[in-house]
Amino acid sequence: MKEENKIINENNHSASNHEGHDFDGITELNNPAPNWILLVFLATIGFSLFYLITYFGYPGNGKDQVSEYNQKSAAFDKEKKQQQEAATGGLVMTPQEMLASGAQLFTQKGCIACHGMNGEGNKIGPNLTDNYWLNGCSESSLISMISEGKPEKGMTPFKTMMTREEIKNVANFILKKLVGSNPANAKPPQGAVCKP
């Protein structure tokens, strides 16, 4: 049986496949891989190069992380701008139109019930025509007060009743038209003095 195996092994190993190394009856053969495996291997390398260039990017192709971040930020900014334009009707108002809108909103939204017809104040709300303010002197603090309100003092939060632009218009109306107007029957000053 050993003789038969030896003859079969000698017949199967031709000289062209033999590498010339023989250790303890074990011969090293040169058996090349089948062509289909070589094609799969080469296709894998090609795909990996394509994937590397396409999805990890090379300079200027817009696929790297920084470019994707910038594209997403620009898309977000564009969407936010469209939402803001939709909230204001897409119109850009002149300063006079803003003041007129603020005056109209001041009356329509019931500000006159607590602050008086001319912002002079009454038993509920403070005087808006003098330079004394209870909750900060800046335009941003006034916008915040209109938006968030002060429920413990009776000031209604208007953030759900008016858009951000409308709140800004009311704040501009108060600061530019009411402050310094000195109406009759004005409520005495309250709070800290704010320099104009």
Q: pLDDT tens for residues 104-122?
A: 888 888 888 888 888 888 8
| Assigned domain for 130 exists | yes
Indicate which CATH number applies to the domain containing 152.
Answer: 1.10.760.10
Is residue 165 one of the residues assigned to a domain? yes
| pLDDT at residue 156 is higher than 90 | no
Give the strand pairing for 132-133 and 26-29: unpaired
Q: Six-digit token pair at 175?
A: 């600061």
The answer to the question of residue 88 being in a domain is no
Q: Is residue 117 one of the residues assigned to a domain?
A: yes
Q: Is residue 50 part of a domain?
A: no
Q: Given a cut of 80, is residue 145 above it in pLDDT?
A: yes
Residue 51 lies in a domain: no
Long-range contacts of 18-27 (CB under 8 A, 24+ apart): none
pLDDT tens profile 26-63:
887 888 889 999 999 999 999 999 888 877 767 677 77
Residue range 180-187: mean pLDDT, rounded: 82
DSSP run (H or E) holding 23: strand 18-23
The whole-angstrom separation of Cα 189 and Cα 38 is 91
Instruction: Please give the pLDDT value at position 42.
Output: 96
117: containing domain: 95-193
Answer yes or no: is 85 within a domain: no
* β-sheet bridge partners, residue 26: 23
Assigned domain for 123 exists? yes
Total count of domains within the chain: 1
